[in-house]
Copies of this chain bind each other. A is one copy, B any other.
Amino acid sequence: MSALDPPFGRIAICGVGLIGGSLGLAIKSRWPAIQVTAIDRPEVVAAAVELAAADCGQDAVAGAAGADLVVLAAPVGVNTALLRQLQTLGTGALITDTGSTKRDIVRAVASGGAPVRFVGGHPIAGAATPGIRAARSDLFAGRPWILTPGSDGSVPSALRDLLEGVGARVHVMTPEAHDRLLSAVSHLPQLASSALMHVVGESAGEAGLACAGPGLRDTTRLAASPPDVWRDIAAANRDYLSRDLDALIAALADLRRGLADGTDTALDRTFDSAARWKRALERHFDKA
Protein backbone atom coordinates (compact mmCIF):
# COMPACT_ATOMS: atom_id res chain seq x y z
CA MET A 1 0.00 0.00 0.00
CA SER A 2 1.37 3.43 -0.82
CA ALA A 3 1.41 5.97 2.00
CA LEU A 4 -1.41 7.81 0.27
CA ASP A 5 -3.78 4.87 -0.26
CA PRO A 6 -6.65 4.95 2.23
CA PRO A 7 -6.45 1.78 4.37
CA PHE A 8 -10.28 1.54 4.55
CA GLY A 9 -13.06 2.68 2.22
CA ARG A 10 -15.75 3.39 4.78
CA ILE A 11 -15.38 3.78 8.54
CA ALA A 12 -18.20 4.04 11.08
CA ILE A 13 -17.37 5.75 14.38
CA CYS A 14 -19.87 4.98 17.16
CA GLY A 15 -19.67 7.80 19.69
CA VAL A 16 -18.18 11.01 18.31
CA GLY A 17 -17.09 12.77 21.49
CA LEU A 18 -13.55 14.01 22.07
CA ILE A 19 -11.91 10.70 21.04
CA GLY A 20 -14.27 9.60 18.25
CA GLY A 21 -14.56 13.15 16.92
CA SER A 22 -10.80 13.69 16.91
CA LEU A 23 -10.34 10.38 15.10
CA GLY A 24 -12.88 11.45 12.47
CA LEU A 25 -11.14 14.81 12.00
CA ALA A 26 -7.72 13.15 11.75
CA ILE A 27 -8.94 10.54 9.23
CA LYS A 28 -10.73 13.09 7.04
CA SER A 29 -7.76 15.46 7.01
CA ARG A 30 -5.31 12.62 6.17
CA TRP A 31 -7.52 10.73 3.67
CA PRO A 32 -10.43 12.86 2.39
CA ALA A 33 -11.60 9.90 0.26
CA ILE A 34 -12.48 7.74 3.28
CA GLN A 35 -16.22 7.91 3.99
CA VAL A 36 -16.70 8.49 7.72
CA THR A 37 -20.13 7.79 9.26
CA ALA A 38 -20.85 9.15 12.74
CA ILE A 39 -23.21 7.13 14.97
CA ASP A 40 -24.46 9.25 17.86
CA ARG A 41 -27.40 11.39 19.00
CA PRO A 42 -28.71 13.63 16.15
CA GLU A 43 -27.28 16.89 17.58
CA VAL A 44 -23.84 15.29 18.02
CA VAL A 45 -23.93 13.87 14.48
CA ALA A 46 -24.84 17.33 13.19
CA ALA A 47 -21.89 18.88 15.02
CA ALA A 48 -19.53 16.16 13.72
CA VAL A 49 -20.62 16.79 10.13
CA GLU A 50 -20.41 20.57 10.57
CA LEU A 51 -16.84 20.26 11.93
CA ALA A 52 -15.88 17.88 9.07
CA ALA A 53 -15.22 15.01 11.48
CA ALA A 54 -17.74 12.89 9.49
CA ASP A 55 -19.42 12.89 6.11
CA CYS A 56 -22.79 11.77 7.39
CA GLY A 57 -24.33 9.93 10.29
CA GLN A 58 -27.35 8.61 12.12
CA ASP A 59 -28.44 7.70 15.62
CA ALA A 60 -28.65 3.92 15.22
CA VAL A 61 -25.92 1.32 14.82
CA ALA A 62 -27.62 0.22 11.57
CA GLY A 63 -25.76 3.19 10.09
CA ALA A 64 -22.60 1.10 10.38
CA ALA A 65 -23.85 -1.34 7.71
CA GLY A 66 -21.45 -1.39 4.79
CA ALA A 67 -18.49 -0.02 6.79
CA ASP A 68 -15.28 -2.03 6.59
CA LEU A 69 -14.11 -0.68 9.96
CA VAL A 70 -16.31 0.08 12.97
CA VAL A 71 -14.75 2.04 15.85
CA LEU A 72 -16.59 1.86 19.19
CA ALA A 73 -15.68 5.15 20.89
CA ALA A 74 -18.58 5.50 23.36
CA PRO A 75 -18.33 4.94 27.14
CA VAL A 76 -17.34 1.34 28.00
CA GLY A 77 -20.84 0.13 28.94
CA VAL A 78 -22.31 1.58 25.74
CA ASN A 79 -19.54 -0.01 23.65
CA THR A 80 -20.51 -3.44 24.95
CA ALA A 81 -24.16 -2.84 24.05
CA LEU A 82 -23.17 -1.62 20.57
CA LEU A 83 -21.02 -4.71 20.10
CA ARG A 84 -24.01 -6.94 20.93
CA GLN A 85 -26.13 -5.10 18.34
CA LEU A 86 -23.41 -5.51 15.70
CA GLN A 87 -23.25 -9.23 16.51
CA THR A 88 -27.04 -9.48 16.16
CA LEU A 89 -27.07 -7.51 12.88
CA GLY A 90 -24.14 -9.55 11.59
CA THR A 91 -21.20 -7.69 10.05
CA GLY A 92 -18.09 -8.51 8.08
CA ALA A 93 -16.41 -5.34 9.27
CA LEU A 94 -13.32 -5.25 11.42
CA ILE A 95 -14.35 -3.86 14.83
CA THR A 96 -12.12 -2.01 17.28
CA ASP A 97 -12.77 0.15 20.35
CA THR A 98 -11.15 2.92 22.40
CA GLY A 99 -12.03 1.86 25.97
CA SER A 100 -9.74 2.18 28.98
CA THR A 101 -9.79 -1.52 29.92
CA LYS A 102 -9.46 -4.43 27.53
CA ARG A 103 -10.14 -7.78 29.22
CA ASP A 104 -13.83 -6.93 29.68
CA ILE A 105 -14.58 -6.09 26.04
CA VAL A 106 -12.61 -9.12 24.82
CA ARG A 107 -14.72 -11.31 27.15
CA ALA A 108 -17.87 -9.67 25.76
CA VAL A 109 -16.78 -10.43 22.19
CA ALA A 110 -16.16 -14.09 23.03
CA SER A 111 -19.43 -14.58 24.91
CA GLY A 112 -21.68 -12.54 22.65
CA GLY A 113 -23.09 -14.89 20.03
CA ALA A 114 -22.11 -14.39 16.37
CA PRO A 115 -18.35 -14.26 15.82
CA VAL A 116 -16.90 -10.90 14.74
CA ARG A 117 -13.42 -9.75 13.78
CA PHE A 118 -12.35 -7.69 16.81
CA VAL A 119 -9.08 -6.01 17.82
CA GLY A 120 -9.18 -4.05 21.08
CA GLY A 121 -7.77 -0.53 21.05
CA HIS A 122 -6.87 2.17 23.54
CA PRO A 123 -5.54 5.59 22.49
CA ILE A 124 -3.56 7.18 25.34
CA ALA A 125 -4.70 10.71 24.59
CA GLY A 126 -7.20 13.12 25.99
CA ALA A 127 -7.95 16.70 26.96
CA ALA A 128 -9.50 18.49 29.90
CA THR A 129 -12.73 19.20 27.98
CA PRO A 130 -14.87 16.31 26.69
CA GLY A 131 -17.19 16.34 23.68
CA ILE A 132 -17.10 16.83 19.92
CA ARG A 133 -16.50 20.61 20.23
CA ALA A 134 -13.11 19.88 21.88
CA ALA A 135 -12.07 17.43 19.11
CA ARG A 136 -8.72 18.11 17.41
CA SER A 137 -7.18 16.44 14.37
CA ASP A 138 -3.78 16.25 16.12
CA LEU A 139 -5.02 14.68 19.36
CA PHE A 140 -3.20 11.41 18.61
CA ALA A 141 0.01 12.86 17.14
CA GLY A 142 2.99 11.26 18.85
CA ARG A 143 0.73 9.55 21.42
CA PRO A 144 0.57 5.81 22.12
CA TRP A 145 -2.33 3.75 20.78
CA ILE A 146 -2.38 0.27 22.26
CA LEU A 147 -3.89 -2.60 20.23
CA THR A 148 -4.81 -5.94 21.79
CA PRO A 149 -5.27 -8.52 19.03
CA GLY A 150 -7.85 -11.29 19.12
CA SER A 151 -7.15 -14.97 19.70
CA ASP A 152 -5.08 -15.34 16.51
CA GLY A 153 -2.67 -12.71 17.86
CA SER A 154 -2.48 -10.70 14.63
CA VAL A 155 -3.16 -7.01 13.96
CA PRO A 156 -4.58 -6.30 10.48
CA SER A 157 -2.08 -4.08 8.69
CA ALA A 158 -4.87 -1.73 7.50
CA LEU A 159 -5.71 -0.88 11.13
CA ARG A 160 -2.07 -0.24 11.97
CA ASP A 161 -1.72 1.93 8.84
CA LEU A 162 -4.81 3.93 9.80
CA LEU A 163 -3.59 4.65 13.32
CA GLU A 164 -0.03 5.47 12.24
CA GLY A 165 -1.55 7.67 9.54
CA VAL A 166 -3.25 9.81 12.19
CA GLY A 167 0.11 10.12 13.98
CA ALA A 168 -0.25 7.54 16.75
CA ARG A 169 2.55 5.21 17.90
CA VAL A 170 1.07 1.70 17.87
CA HIS A 171 1.92 -0.70 20.74
CA VAL A 172 0.66 -4.29 20.53
CA MET A 173 0.09 -6.39 23.66
CA THR A 174 -2.36 -8.89 25.17
CA PRO A 175 -5.52 -7.62 26.91
CA GLU A 176 -4.01 -8.86 30.21
CA ALA A 177 -0.74 -6.97 29.68
CA HIS A 178 -2.72 -3.85 28.76
CA ASP A 179 -4.83 -3.93 31.90
CA ARG A 180 -1.82 -4.64 34.13
CA LEU A 181 0.14 -1.77 32.56
CA LEU A 182 -2.72 0.75 32.58
CA SER A 183 -3.43 -0.04 36.21
CA ALA A 184 0.07 1.29 36.99
CA VAL A 185 0.42 4.21 34.59
CA SER A 186 -3.16 5.49 34.60
CA HIS A 187 -5.60 3.99 37.11
CA LEU A 188 -3.34 4.14 40.20
CA PRO A 189 -2.29 7.78 39.51
CA GLN A 190 -5.99 8.69 39.23
CA LEU A 191 -6.88 7.11 42.59
CA ALA A 192 -3.75 8.57 44.23
CA SER A 193 -4.52 12.05 42.92
CA SER A 194 -8.12 11.94 44.16
CA ALA A 195 -7.14 10.50 47.57
CA LEU A 196 -4.43 13.16 47.95
CA MET A 197 -6.75 16.07 47.10
CA HIS A 198 -9.37 14.69 49.53
CA VAL A 199 -6.83 14.40 52.38
CA VAL A 200 -5.14 17.75 51.70
CA GLY A 201 -8.48 19.57 51.49
CA GLU A 202 -9.76 18.06 54.73
CA SER A 203 -6.49 18.95 56.49
CA ALA A 204 -5.87 22.45 55.06
CA GLY A 205 -9.45 23.67 54.67
CA GLU A 206 -10.71 26.25 52.17
CA ALA A 207 -8.61 29.13 53.55
CA GLY A 208 -5.49 27.00 53.85
CA LEU A 209 -5.63 26.09 50.16
CA ALA A 210 -4.87 29.76 49.41
CA CYS A 211 -1.29 29.00 50.52
CA ALA A 212 -0.80 26.07 48.14
CA GLY A 213 1.80 26.26 45.40
CA PRO A 214 1.81 24.94 41.84
CA GLY A 215 3.15 21.57 43.04
CA LEU A 216 -0.18 20.70 44.67
CA ARG A 217 -2.03 21.96 41.62
CA ASP A 218 -0.16 19.64 39.24
CA THR A 219 -0.18 16.68 41.59
CA THR A 220 -3.96 16.91 41.85
CA ARG A 221 -4.75 17.74 38.22
CA LEU A 222 -6.61 14.42 37.85
CA ALA A 223 -8.65 15.03 41.02
CA ALA A 224 -11.35 16.85 39.04
CA SER A 225 -12.26 13.57 37.29
CA PRO A 226 -15.88 12.45 37.76
CA PRO A 227 -16.50 9.19 39.66
CA ASP A 228 -18.82 7.54 37.10
CA VAL A 229 -16.15 6.78 34.49
CA TRP A 230 -13.67 5.64 37.12
CA ARG A 231 -16.14 3.40 38.94
CA ASP A 232 -16.37 1.28 35.76
CA ILE A 233 -12.62 1.27 35.13
CA ALA A 234 -11.81 0.34 38.75
CA ALA A 235 -14.36 -2.47 38.68
CA ALA A 236 -13.10 -3.84 35.35
CA ASN A 237 -9.48 -3.78 36.56
CA ARG A 238 -10.03 -4.65 40.23
CA ASP A 239 -7.30 -7.32 40.51
CA TYR A 240 -4.35 -5.39 39.05
CA LEU A 241 -5.44 -2.11 40.62
CA SER A 242 -5.71 -3.70 44.08
CA ARG A 243 -2.16 -4.97 43.75
CA ASP A 244 -0.85 -1.55 42.72
CA LEU A 245 -2.79 0.17 45.52
CA ASP A 246 -1.19 -2.25 47.98
CA ALA A 247 2.25 -1.33 46.63
CA LEU A 248 1.56 2.41 46.99
CA ILE A 249 0.24 1.96 50.53
CA ALA A 250 3.37 -0.05 51.37
CA ALA A 251 5.65 2.67 49.94
CA LEU A 252 3.88 5.38 51.97
CA ALA A 253 3.96 3.20 55.11
CA ASP A 254 7.71 2.77 54.54
CA LEU A 255 8.15 6.57 54.46
CA ARG A 256 5.96 6.85 57.57
CA ARG A 257 8.13 4.36 59.48
CA GLY A 258 11.29 6.21 58.40
CA LEU A 259 9.86 9.44 59.85
CA ALA A 260 9.00 7.72 63.12
CA ASP A 261 12.45 6.09 63.38
CA GLY A 262 14.26 9.28 62.47
CA THR A 263 16.11 7.31 59.77
CA ASP A 264 16.41 8.74 56.29
CA THR A 265 16.87 5.47 54.42
CA ALA A 266 13.23 5.08 53.31
CA LEU A 267 13.08 8.68 52.11
CA ASP A 268 16.42 8.49 50.30
CA ARG A 269 15.56 5.16 48.70
CA THR A 270 12.10 6.28 47.55
CA PHE A 271 13.28 9.67 46.24
CA ASP A 272 16.25 8.16 44.39
CA SER A 273 14.04 5.52 42.75
CA ALA A 274 11.37 8.11 41.92
CA ALA A 275 13.86 10.53 40.36
CA ARG A 276 15.31 7.72 38.22
CA TRP A 277 11.86 6.59 36.98
CA LYS A 278 10.82 10.21 36.45
CA ARG A 279 13.79 10.71 34.12
CA ALA A 280 12.77 7.55 32.20
CA LEU A 281 9.21 8.87 31.91
CA GLU A 282 10.34 12.28 30.66
CA ARG A 283 12.61 10.67 28.06
CA HIS A 284 9.52 9.07 26.48
CA PHE A 285 7.75 12.45 26.35
CA ASP A 286 10.87 14.12 24.91
CA LYS A 287 10.84 11.54 22.09
CA ALA A 288 7.10 11.97 21.39
Given A215-B189, A218-B221: A198 and B277 within 8 A (CB)?
yes
Closest B residue by C-beta to A221: B218
Query: Does the CB pair A216–B252 fall under 8 Å?
Result: no
25 A-B residue pairs with CB within 8 Å: A125-B213, A144-B210, A169-B210, A181-B204, A184-B199, A189-B220, A192-B192, A195-B252, A195-B270, A195-B274, A198-B274, A201-B278, A209-B281, A210-B284, A218-B222, A219-B219, A223-B277, A227-B271, A231-B267, A234-B259, A235-B259, A235-B262, A235-B264, A242-B259, A242-B260
Closest B residue by C-beta to A281: B209
Q: How many residues of A contact B (CB 8 A)?
A: 92
Given A195-B252, A211-B146, A273-B201: A278 and B188 within 8 A (CB)?
no
Complex CA–CA separation, A225 to B278 (angstroms): 10
Given A195-B274, A271-B230: A184 and B200 within 8 A (CB)?
yes
Query: CB-CB < 8 A to A217: which residues of B?
Result: 281-282, 285
Residues of A whose CB lies within 8 Å of any CB of B are 124-126, 143-144, 146, 169, 171, 180-186, 188-204, 206, 208-227, 230-231, 234-235, 238, 241-242, 244-249, 251-253, 255-256, 259-260, 262, 264, 267-268, 270-282, 284-285
Query: Does the CB pair B189–A196 fall under 8 Å?
Result: yes
Q: Given B186, B195, B219, which contacts A255 in the complex, CB threshold below 8 Å?
A: B195
Interface SS of A by simple majority: helix
Q: How many copies does the complex hold?
A: 2
Q: Which of A183, A225, A255, A262 has the most CB of B within 10 A?
A: A255
Query: Does the CB pair B272–A227 fall under 8 Å?
Result: yes
Query: CB-CB < 8 A to A271: which residues of B?
Result: 194, 225-227, 230
Query: CB-CB < 8 A to A281: which residues of B?
Result: 197, 201, 209, 212, 216-217, 220
Query: Does the CB pair A185–B198 fall under 8 Å?
Result: no
Query: Does the CB pair A249–B253 fall under 8 Å?
Result: yes
Query: CB-CB < 8 A to A247: which residues of B?
Result: 199, 202-203
Query: Does the CB pair A200–B242 fall under 8 Å?
Result: no
Query: Does the CB pair A227–B189 fall under 8 Å?
Result: no
Distance (Å) between the CB of A241 and the closest chain B CB?
A: 6
